[in-house]
Each structure stands twice: as structure tokens, then as C-alpha cells.
Amino acid sequence: MSFLEVRGVSKRFGGITALNDVSLTVEKGEIFGLMGANGAGKTTLFSVIAGHAAPSSGEVLFKGRRITGLPPARICRQGICRTFQIVRPMAGLSVAENVRVAALYGSHGLRPGPQTDAKVAEALAAVGLDDQLETLAGALTLSGQKRLEIARALATGAELVMLDEVMAGLNPTEIAHMLDTLSALRRERGLTFVIVEHVIGALMTLSDRILVLHHGERIAFGTPEDIGRNDQVAEVYFG
């Protein structure tokens, strides 16, 4: 049984087929990369898995249980959390308060108190934001806001974290720092990641396996080496 299984998922928006019969499996502890040009369907796939969009057909299983059609809060409490391509922290709340809200929303059944405070501190330390607890989220740099998104996902208690372009807009130093953070989270906590990233070097470095979507269809799948030498990928993706 795979940790996450997507079976034949299609998603249509009116006349647009955003996903066409996409299947994939993700194993526990894996970093699974999702690649594809603009409009390929990557964010839509995240939305279907996380319950923010219902598939037109197909199903999603997490730890062997069907989660298709469940609301996002239920899916989150089962252990799946996604970040958003456009970061949207609660700008007027502090960094710590943003993460506290996520911890209370997530799967622990926590109530406000020391246990929640510890969870918040732990999530912020894991992404290197523990020196900015009282900073207003809206005052963080873009890199800080991307880290806050990850801390919020961790605080929900998620076992599977889906990251939608967390490196977009970051400079090379910030990208290197993010690579270290994600590798450490996988190594030290056994977390599983699905990552969407246009920063191809970073995606290739991190991912165990990569799936390439093009106009909603699966066109290639394999190790980063396989993908790097796939002619069809080179043609549709790099032009």
C-alpha cells in the first residue's frame, strides 16, 4: 500500500481539462517532485488531493483510505497539508500567532496552552524562524513568508506536506537554505513531501522521483536522471 495514491484523476473547469487521467503513488518518506510548464495542472492536482477542488473523476487514497470528496479540514486532520503558491499569511498577526492557529486547526486536538506553545516553537525552529516570533507576518521578507507557510503546515501535524513553489522568487542563498531545511525535515522527522517547483535545479536535487505534467497529462516519470535525459520533457518544458 502506498502512502498516497492518486488514481485516474481528471479535473475539468468548463471547457478546460486541467487534469486528464493522472495517476501516481507517493511512498512514505519520499520527496516526490511535480514538474510542468505554466498551466500544466500542478496546482490543480494539489487542490484535488487536499480537498480544495473535487475531481471530475478518479479518486485519491491516503494510507489506503479514500479521501476523495472530504472537506480540506478533514483531510488536514488525517495528515495532509498543502501550502499555497501565493503566500497568504494572516498579515496582521505575529509569526507565532499564525502558526498557533495552524496548530489548533490541525490533527492534534490541541487546546491553547503549553502543549500548543511547544508545538508552535518546534515548528518555527524547524524552519529557522524562531528568532522572529513576535514579528508581524506581513512584515516578513518573501523568504520568511515562504518559511512561515511551511511552519504552518508542520504545526498541523501533517505527515504529507505539499509545497507549491516555495522557492519561487528566492535568491540563490535562500534557495540553498530552503534545500537544507527540507532535507533535514525529511531526514529528522520522516516527513513525506510532494513539491512543485519551477526552480529545476532545486527540484532535481531534492526529489527521489519526478512526474512531469503537460496540459494536464502525465508525459514522463522517473528519477531526476531519467527526467534530465527525456527528450519529450526537454521539448515541451524547455522549448
Ligand X SMILES: Nc1ncnc2c1ncn2[C@@H]1O[C@H](COP(=O)(O)OP(=O)(O)OP(=O)(O)O)[C@@H](O)[C@H]1O
Of 1-9, 36-44, 67-75, 90-98, the segment contacting Mg ion by CB under 5 A is 36-44
Q: Which of 4, 6, 9, 18 binds ligand X (CB under 6 A)?
A: 18
38 binds ligand X (CB under 6 A): yes
Of 6, 31, 42, 156, the one binding ligand X (CB under 6 A) is 42
Query: Do residues 124 and 133 lie in contact, with contact meaning Cβ atoms separated by under 8 Å?
Result: yes
Amino acid at 123: A
Of 72, 89, 178, 175, the residue nearest 135 (C-alpha): 89
Partner from ligand X, Mg ion, none binding residue 38, C-beta < 5-8 Å depending on class:
ligand X
Nearer to ligand X, 159 or 197 (CB): 197
Is 173 among the residues that bind ligand X (CB under 6 A)?
Answer: no
Residue 141 CA to residue 189 CA, distance in Å, equals 26
What distance in Å separates the CA atoms of residue 153 and residue 25, rounded to the nearest whole number? 21
Whether residue 42 contacts residue 196, with contact meaning beta carbons closer than 8 Å, is answered with yes
Q: Which of 9, 20, 33, 43 binds Mg ion (CB under 5 A)?
A: 43
Q: Pick the closer one to Mg ion by CB: 96 or 206.
A: 206
Of the residues 24, 35, 44, 191, which one makes contact with ligand X according to CB under 6 A: 44
13 binds ligand X (CB under 6 A): yes
Rounded to the nearest angstrom, the gap between the alpha carbon of residue 142 and the centroid of all alpha carbons in its chain is 17
Choice between 43 and 98, CB closer to ligand X: 43
29 vs 169, beta carbon nearer ligand X: 169
Q: Where are the beta strands (DSSP E) in the chain?
A: 4-13, 16-26, 31-35, 57-62, 65-66, 80-82, 160-164, 192-196, 209-214, 217-222
Among 4, 24, 40, 220, binds ligand X (CB under 6 A): 40
| Residue 138: burial class (beta carbons within 10 Å; 0-12, 13-18, 19+) | exposed
Which residues would be at the binding site for ligand X (CB under 6 A)?
13, 16, 18, 36, 38-44, 85
